[in-house]
Structure formats: C-alpha cells, structure tokens
Amino acid sequence: MTELFKQYKKFSISEQVYRFGEEILDALAPRFAQIDKNAEYNQLKVIGAMQEAGVSEACLLGTTGYGYNDLGRDTLETVYAEVFETEDALVRPQITCGTHALALALMSNLRPGDELLSPVGKPYDTLEEVIGIRPSRGSLAEYGVTYRQVDLLPDGSFDYEGIRAAVGERTKMVTIQRSKGYQTRPTLSVERIGELIAFVKQIKPDVIVMVDNCYGEFVETREPSQVGADMVVGSLIKNPGGGLAPIGGYIAGKRECVENAACRLTSPGLAKEVGASLGVLPAFYQGLFLAPTVTASALKGAIFAANVYEKLGFAVVPDGQESRHDIIQAVTFGSPEGVIAFCEGIQAAAPVDSFVKPEPWDMPGYDSKVIMAAGAFVSGSSIELSADGPIAPPYAVYFQGGLTFPHAKLGILKSLQNLVDRGIVTVP
Ligand SMILES: *Cc1c(COP(=O)(O)O)cnc(C)c1O
C-alpha cells in the first residue's frame, strides 16, 4: 500500500476504486499537459494586463460611501478590459451574481420595442424570468421587449436559415450562451461563436451581440470578445474570480454597451463614477491572478470525471476525448438515486460542511427541484468543487469546479465510491 493510497483510505476510498482512477489518470497525462500550456498562456495574459494597467499597492485599498475616484476599482476595470481585449469593463461587487450581470447587460441595452434573439436555443434557466419566457415581475417582456429563439439543429449545428429568417427590423440584440448550462447540447467553442457572430453581423451589422461567458473564461486562449462579441458577461464566483472573489459580476465590451450597463447599475448621470469597492479589491485582483490555473484544475477534474463515468457506461457530455470549451461536465445517471449518490460524494470530499447531507430543494429561478453539493469557502461558488442535479429526467448531474486538481480528484473518487457502495455501479 503506497503512502498516497493510505491518505485516500482515510476517506474510505477502496483500493479498487483508487486503482481504477489511477489507470484513467495515467492515460490523461498528455491532455493535462496541454491544459497546463493553456493556463501558462492565460497566466501571462493576466500578469501582462495587470502590469500594463499599472496595478499598484494602492489599488488594493478600498473606498466607502459613494466610492468616487476609487483607484483600485477603476484600474481593475482597465485590467479586465485588457484581458478580454475590449474597450471598457464594469467589474463590481454591486453586481450580485451572473444572472444579475446578464440581466443588467440586457436591460440596459434594450429599449421598448426592441427584440432580443437567441440563435442557440433556450437560454440558462434563470434568464427565462429575466426575458419573460416564463412570466415574471420586472421582465424584459413587461417593458415591451420581445424575444425570439432559434434552436440548434438536431446535430448541434446552427440553423443558419432559421436565424436569417428570425433577424428582423426590431432585432437589436443577439444573446449567445457559450456554456451548455443545464442542457446536454455541446458547449460552443470560441471559434464557433466567432462564426455565428460573423453570420449575424453580415445580416445586420449594427446588432449588439452579447455572450453569456459563464464557465468559459480562460478555458481557451481566446475569449468571445476577441471574435466579434460586443459584450461578454459573467460571474466572479465562477472562473474569473479564481475562487477568491466573494461576490460580483463583470461586463466587458464596447464602451457604449458598458456605459449603458453602468447607468442602469447605479443611475443615469452617475454611471461608473460611484460604487464603493469596500474591502473586496484584494480578492478580485488576486482571484483574477489565480483564475487561469484554477480554471485549469477545474478542467482537469471535468475531464477525469468524463473518463471515469464514460468507462462505466454512463452518457457523458462532453465525452472523454472531446475538446473542452467550458468547465462543466454532465453525467447522465438515469435515476434520482444516481444523482443523489454522486452529489453526496462530492459533498463528502469538501473542506467545509463535509458532514452535511445535501437535499433536493426548490431553488429560486429553477422550475424543478435541484440537489446541490457544495462545501465551499464562498457560498454557492461553482468554481469551487460543486455539483448540481435537477431532479427531473434524464437525471443528469452537472459537475464543475475544483480550486485544486487533487481536491477535484478526491471528490470524483468519493462520488464513485458512493455509487459502488450503493450497488449502482461496479468497478472493473
Ligand atoms: C451560472 C450561469 C448563469 C447564472 O449565474 P448565477 O451566478 O448563478 O446567477 C448564467 N448562465 C450560465 C451559462 C451559467 O453557467
């Protein structure tokens, strides 16, 4: 018995499960090396942006009250603009989450009578209420903004004819979700997003393209804003916060789009000038600094999970070999028991709240019960090792995060051990 296995044994991992994991990991070495190269590229991008913007010790101090002349906040927004290669950015703790950032980008850039188009099918669950697909107080629909959707074709490709027909005089904005979210469609690569943007801009050059960039940041060496997106939007408790940001969201894009968002977040006339950063700036800066390697750890965890569960005969999206464009891994267990056993295993590997048993609950913004496993330092953070499973067919679990790969590995082995112990699966 190796010293390392003795450590796993303390977590009740059997020798069989451990060996199974090791064999899979051995075969993944070349892919992991490629992920490390990506992280290296993105690490230099982030350090370069911080140097270019002249980040100083004074930037780490916060402001209170109105937050006028907040050097750290304004410099951080310059850093984000540099990283995403955009004209401007809004990066604020007052943006409460990813949904809020997306709602802000939409509501501030659309006016009554405009139409929003999603050419990639149904958007993320929480956006249904923002848009008004499910009637909701304060939705875009209530303000007279209409919505159209063109689904992906059955093979996952863009329905170019459908999109051409859907772009009309009132189409003001196009929203493209990079990640699959709670769906089993493939995630879009930056390259494919670029092709789609070129197509819609060719039909209507002045349309504003927003990309929901959640879970995609730093997975590739390019971001959608480098292939024509007018705005990229995301959450700081996912990839770009590097696990350290305790709250926040960002919008990076064209100056005009960002200014509109700032006027809506604070107030017309005040825009970016107010919004105290309080004490969060060190975490925002250091989190962004760590984000490339943290994202790489999460990516390795996702690939490991895909290969483990694929080998055991479960449907996994993406599959074990496929190239990656976000950090989410979907595993379809086909039964509530599988989803629950998996999530309990992830929870049991956590540094915080490992003794807690997750239960399915009615989460705000979602239309079925969801079970969530998260023993996170930042509540609800999904760049930390976490798993969510809507308790509804096809009974798939969406697994993501891991600030370090060893933690992701432990979580995956714990989940597998749980499934083995409950007789749901046997390991060869
Ligand atoms: C997480 C996520 C959101 C919403 O972010 P929250 O921070 O949970 O509000 C939106 N779109 C996608 C694709 C996401 O993954």
Note the pLDDT tens digit of each residue in 167-203: 999 999 999 999 987 776 888 999 999 999 999 999 9
Instruction: Over range 22-43, report the average pLDDT.
Output: 98
pLDDT over 80 at 344, yes or no: yes
**Cβ pair 116, 109 in contact under 8 A:** no
> Which residue's CA lies nearest to atom 6 of ligand 1?
98
From residue 116, give the alpha-carbon distance in Å to each of 105, 130, 206, 257: 12, 12, 13, 15
**Residue whose CB lies within 8 A of the most ligand 1 atoms, among 183, 212, 217, 235, for a mutation test:** 235
Q: What is the reported pLDDT for 125?
A: 86
For ligand 1, the distance from its centroid to the CA atom of residue 4, given in whole angstroms, is 36
Ligand 1 atom at minimal distance to the Cα of residue 179: 13
Q: How far is the CA of 374 from the centre of ligand 1 (A)?
A: 16
In this prediction the pTM is 0.95
- From CA 405, how far away is CA 351, in angstroms rounded? 14
| Residues with C-beta less than 6 Å from any ligand 1 atom | 97-99, 102, 124, 126, 177, 179, 181, 212, 214-215, 235
Nearest CA to ligand 1 atom 8: 98
Atom of ligand 1 nearest to the CA of 99: 9
Q: Ligand 1 mean position to 124 CA, how many Å?
A: 7
pLDDT of residue 365: 64
What is the percentage of the chain residues whose pLDDT exceeds 70? 99
If you measure from the C-alpha of residue 363 to the centroid of ligand 1, how many angstroms do you get, rounded to a whole number?
13
Alpha carbon of 221 to ligand 1 centroid (Å): 21
Kindly report, residue by residue over 62-74, the tens digit of the pLDDT: 999 999 999 999 9
Half-sphere exposure of 123 (CA within 13 A, CB side): 30
Q: Is the pLDDT of residue 338 over 90?
A: yes
Which atom from ligand 1 is nearest to the alpha carbon of 178? 13
Angstrom CA distances, 316 to 151, 331, 398, stand at 22, 5, 10
pLDDT in tens, 258-311: 999 999 999 999 999 999 999 999 999 999 999 999 999 999 999 999 999 999
Q: Report how far ligand 1's centroid is from the alpha carbon of 240 (Å).
A: 13
How sure is the predictor about 367, in pLDDT bands with cuts at 50, 70 and 90? confident
Q: In this predicted structure, what is the pLDDT of residue 183?
A: 76
1: confidence class by pLDDT, cuts 50, 70, 90: low
Architecture of the domain delimited by 3-44+291-421? Alpha-Beta Complex (3.90)
- Domain residue ranges of the chain, discontinuous segments joined by +: 3-44+291-421, 61-288
DSSP 188: P
Residues 379, 402: contact at Cβ < 8 Å? no
Mean pLDDT of the chain: 96
CATH architecture of 61-288: 3-Layer(aba) Sandwich (3.40)
Q: How far apart are CA 117 and CA 201, in angstroms?
A: 13
